[in-house]
Chains A and B, each alone.
Chain A
């Protein structure tokens, strides 16, 4: 160890804070000019944290499941009655769906419909709630050599969750549709009108820019639109809810506050991510 004189050491100690502050300021400027470093660092950090949270999440999930079970015991009879009714209703819907499916394939055959894309997907666990004050994202744990790539679409059991923006060697980061940077072109299911879904950091993204005369109706289903080539058409996103005249929000179908398992689907939609773009994440966010 180098022996330094006490006054010199004191001077050095007094200097650390301003020097580090200047360094931090420099980092902000560098980060603003060039996102490569930040992305590299955050991907490495995610790779370290993902396996860690993977281990921790097992007992956490178990505890949560136990809690739900205990809570469920209290309302067993009521729940049973509700489920029976729901089951009956679903059976009716199943019959309708099967009839429609048959009709659909018949019509497709008549039209010589050739859009039979086969999408590949991987199911991965969400291990960390990697959001920030001004960012809504989650971290998923992937195995090594997973086929996940930036730009792929993420769904949960209910509907659209977001898209992959960053991939490390054992983790990937998903930008949720509620993030400030998220823009999703959508179609209103009933009127077939187009609109834009804008993330606002809150639990419910805003629905905006619909055409005149095509105002979304309260409760109307909203699905993704293939416009701009960013998403495949027809993925369920949510339903419309008005908070004021002309101000529509979307209640997401996906359970975004409690994501546990998500499906990362490769629809081959890469129009928005030209190969020469060094950092798809920025593009994916801003579109």
Chain B
């Protein structure tokens, strides 16, 4: 969003604009980096689950706290990337991510007021919905009942890592990812 406050200001310098853009792009860059990092052969056998879990946490957090930095097209793009990397039916993660962004945006004022524990719970419900949808759609699209365990792992990992990510992202939200501080 462009600055819509009234008044005349100097055109920001190139360095400052770069600063604003890098801050605005912080959530996208961090999420992308997490996804790509987990794609490396780390020898973790839950890295695929972790990839989705951390993306969900990041999408949810930024949609609640700084929705301008997590626009729907970004969620769509990240979902597409995950689908291609994970050999999932293409478009599935995009759809789920968009729903997560939509829900998080819709409840964002309430979620921000509720405090950490309740927003964690809120994330739990959103992640549960997302993971169930992925499981159901994956099974339906492949026309066979898939083992549910990987999805349960996904949910557990998402819940486990959300607090840590929320602390880190919360810090970033106040400093590194705050365009108004540029």
Question: Which residues of A does B touch, CB under 8 Å?
Answer: 6, 16-17, 20-21, 23-28, 30-32, 37-38, 41-42, 45, 49, 53, 56-57, 60, 126-135, 137-138, 180, 200-201, 203, 257-260
Q: Does B110 contact A (CB under 8 A)?
A: no
Nearest-neighbor residue (CB-CB) of B68 within chain A: A13
Bound form: Cα–Cα A31–B142 in Å: 12
Interface size on B, residues (CB 8 A): 46
Q: Does B94 contact A (CB under 8 A)?
A: yes
Interface of A is mostly: helix
Q: Are A132 and B88 touching (Cβ within 8 A)?
A: yes
A-B contact pairs, 22 of them (CB 8 A): A20-B73, A20-B75, A20-B98, A24-B94, A26-B91, A28-B92, A28-B141, A30-B91, A31-B89, A128-B41, A129-B47, A131-B47, A131-B48, A132-B48, A132-B86, A134-B150, A135-B48, A135-B88, A201-B147, A201-B150, A257-B43, A259-B41
Q: Are A129 and B40 touching (Cβ within 8 A)?
A: yes
Q: Are B84 and A41 touching (Cβ within 8 A)?
A: yes
List 20 additional A-B contacts (Cβ < 8 Å) besides A60-B40, A127-B41, A131-B87: A16-B73, A17-B98, A24-B76, A24-B91, A24-B98, A25-B91, A32-B89, A37-B90, A42-B87, A45-B81, A49-B36, A49-B39, A126-B41, A132-B48, A132-B87, A133-B134, A133-B138, A133-B154, A134-B150, A138-B41
Complex contacts, B147 vs chain A, CB 8 Å: 200-201
Bound form: Cα–Cα A45–B32 in Å: 14
Complex contacts, A129 vs chain B, CB 8 Å: 39-42, 47
Question: Which residues of B does A touch, CB under 8 Å?
Answer: 4, 36, 39-43, 45, 47-49, 52, 71-73, 75-76, 79-81, 84-92, 94-95, 98-99, 101-102, 105, 134, 137-138, 141-142, 146-147, 150-151, 154
Complex contacts, A45 vs chain B, CB 8 Å: 81, 84-85
A131 in complex: contacting residue of B76, B86, B105, B151, CB < 8 Å: B86
A23 in complex: contacting residue of B76, B134, B154, CB < 8 Å: B76
Using A28-B92, A201-B147 as known contacts, say yes or no to A137 and B40 having CB atoms under 8 A apart.
Answer: no
Q: Are A135 and B39 touching (Cβ within 8 A)?
A: no
Q: Are A38 and B86 touching (Cβ within 8 A)?
A: no
Shortest beta-carbon distance, A187 to chain B, in Å?
A: 27
Complex contacts, B48 vs chain A, CB 8 Å: 131-133, 135
Complex contacts, B80 vs chain A, CB 8 Å: 27
Using A28-B92, A127-B41, A258-B43 as known contacts, say yes or no to A17 and B154 having CB atoms under 8 A apart.
Answer: no
Q: Are A133 and B151 touching (Cβ within 8 A)?
A: yes
Q: Are A132 and B85 touching (Cβ within 8 A)?
A: yes
Complex contacts, A132 vs chain B, CB 8 Å: 48, 85-88
Shortest beta-carbon distance, A258 to chain B, in Å?
A: 5
Bound form: Cα–Cα A132–B81 in Å: 12
Bound form: Cα–Cα A102–B141 in Å: 54
Q: Are B94 and A133 touching (Cβ within 8 A)?
A: no
